[in-house]
Amino acid sequence: MGPEELGLAMVALAERKGARVRTIVGESLLHENYPLIHAVGRASSRTPRLLDLRWGDEHAPKVTLVGKGVCFDSGGLDLKSSANMKLMKKDMGGAAHVLGLASMIMDAKLPVRLRVLVPAVENSVSANAFRPLDVLRSRKGLTVEVGNTDAEGRLILADCLAEADREKPALLIDLATLTGAARTALGPDLPALFTADDKLAEEILSAGTQLADPMWRLPLWKPYRRMLDSKTADISSASDSAHAGAITAALFLQEFVSPTTPWAHIDVFSWNQAPRPGRPEGGEAMGLRALFHLIALRYPL
């Protein structure tokens, strides 16, 4: 299933819950200033799109969820190996997570103005694929040098985070199957949590402990920002270093969010590699119960 099918899943959810969805497709992404989403998805015959769901009272506290929707990831011109490509149908796990969390919020009728942003793309190889060392302009206006075409998730998230941040939400959470480095550090079962907001981190980690739905906080270590320096753009999308890959990815995303916005980035594996009791092999929700608990505590009925 590709970007269109992911969009249909969001529309079906919206119809069941009384929400509304706006979809920006193909060249319209350029007209509406989502250039990074367009660049990543343009090589595929399955047209890229931005999915934008809204629900709830416009005057309620704004809770915005952003989910990585790479429906298949070949790695682009920096092609993945065949072994690493095998799981890449799950690279829309972040999108699946935010749709699941949105469904829980709407079912509970929490008193929030919910917005869900999903950039839905396929990262493919063709004559018009974006290239390593291309310089792209983002929605925020920052120029980005493409350090690696297989670091595409952070590009599409950047445009969405910039749009989400524009509204100054009371809470902004993104979920993404973003880096292998997070799995090297924490393994497949523990999502990596990044936030500059210590209070928010404590609340998320506490919720995870209470519900046996754990996460582990990793630092937004600012000295590593130098690894993303570029000679030709405001920032590089990926470091040449083999070190701290999950941290540098999170630092890249942080560039597109205001320091005053309560923001958390969660890097999830979103997959069970083998069956366990109650957890069959395949797609897995990680952190959803903890995040719902956090939101329900912050914005009680």
Q: 198, exposed or middle or buried, with CB in 10 Å at 0-12, 13-18, 19+?
A: exposed
Strand partners, 282: 272
pLDDT at residue 151 in the model: 98
Q: How many other CB atoms are found less than 10 A from the CB of residue 127?
A: 5
pLDDT at residue 217 in the model: 98
C-alpha to C-alpha distance for 143 and 182, rounded to whole angstroms: 26
pLDDT at residue 190 in the model: 97
Distances in Å between the alpha carbon of 31 and those of 38, 47, 51, 53, 139?
Answer: 10, 15, 16, 20, 11
- Residue whose C-alpha is closest to residue 227's, from 213, 241, 215: 241
**Ranges of each domain in the chain:** 3-298
Report the catalytic residues.
Answer: 80, 154
- Residue whose C-alpha is closest to residue 264's, from 102, 66, 119, 54: 66
What are 182's two structure tokens? Answer: 């997070």
Fold of 3-298: Aminopeptidase (3.40.630)
Kindly report the pTM of this predicted structure.
0.97
Can you list the residues of the chain whose pLDDT is less than 50?
none
